[in-house]
Structure 1
Amino acid sequence: MNQTITKDATQNTETPISNSKKDMVKTENSPKQAFYDFYLDEHQNIACRRLHFAGSSFGLLGLAKSVKTGSAKPLVKGIAAGYACAWVGHFFFEKNKPASFKFPLKSFASDFRMYNDVLRGNLSLRDRKFDKAR
């Protein structure tokens, strides 16, 4: 393994820096990725994923209409429709509790990451065997 030693002037310590590409590969998941992996495990059922995608779309449409009209009412309706779709997906298809009950902010962020992965083709709404997000 090739290493170069650098000195940290502020702490007067030496830190080894690897020159090998193998050493640059990250072996541990970040906390965000670990939660997203958990989130995807909670969304294995294709009907649940489809309902989440529809719900997120309703939320985004509500946001767009709120911006256009200057009224908060469409946003509230979009959020309500979004959560209704998601919860139906969990209670009737996935048969689990939504992650948003325990982790509301992380789940909200992961839902839009999942939405983005569907749009980019990294997650399938047809069959999980086509998933590339992991």
Structure 2
Amino acid sequence: MKSFQEFWPFYLQEHSNPFNRRLHFVGTLLVHLLIVAALLTEQWSLLWGLPVIGYGFAWVGHFVVEKNRPATFKHPLWSLCGDFKMFYQMCAGKLWS
């Protein structure tokens, strides 16, 4: 894959199960909240929890729900962009099913 536009349909296919999408949503929401908490409290050590929370929910969604391998292993940056794009589209009322 040579572009994010080409990657996006593959990303959605790998997240076709609505429960997997919800797990990703919760993980990404908690990532946002943790960043805000670190900024407000200036407790920068909180940021060490970002990968644990973000990947924790996502990997449960893949290994347990979808029974596939996370796209992060082959396309880490595009996968991260995909997580945030999917999160914001879900916030806008899209992609829940």
**TM-score between both structures, scaled by the size of structure 1:** 0.67
Larger Rg: 1
2:77 paired with 1:105 = yes
What does residue 41 of structure 1 align with?
13
**Separation in 2 of the partners of 1:105 and 1:32?**
9
Identity of counterpart residues, as a percentage? 42
2:91 paired with 1:114 = no
Q: Which runs of 5+ in 1 are unaligned?
A: 1-29, 128-134
**Separation in 2 of the partners of 1:63 and 1:79?**
12
Q: What amino acid is aligned across from residue 94 of structure 1 in structure 2?
A: E
**TM-score between both structures, scaled by the size of structure 2:** 0.91
2:41 paired with 1:80 = no
Aligned residues: 96
More helix by share: 2
RMSD of aligned residue pairs (Cα, Å) = 1.4
What does residue 61 of structure 1 align with?
33
Runs of 4+ in 1 over 3 A off after TM superposition: none
SS of residue in 1 equivalent to 2:94: coil
More strand by share: 1
- More relative contact order, 1 or 2 (CA 8 Å, 6+ apart): 2
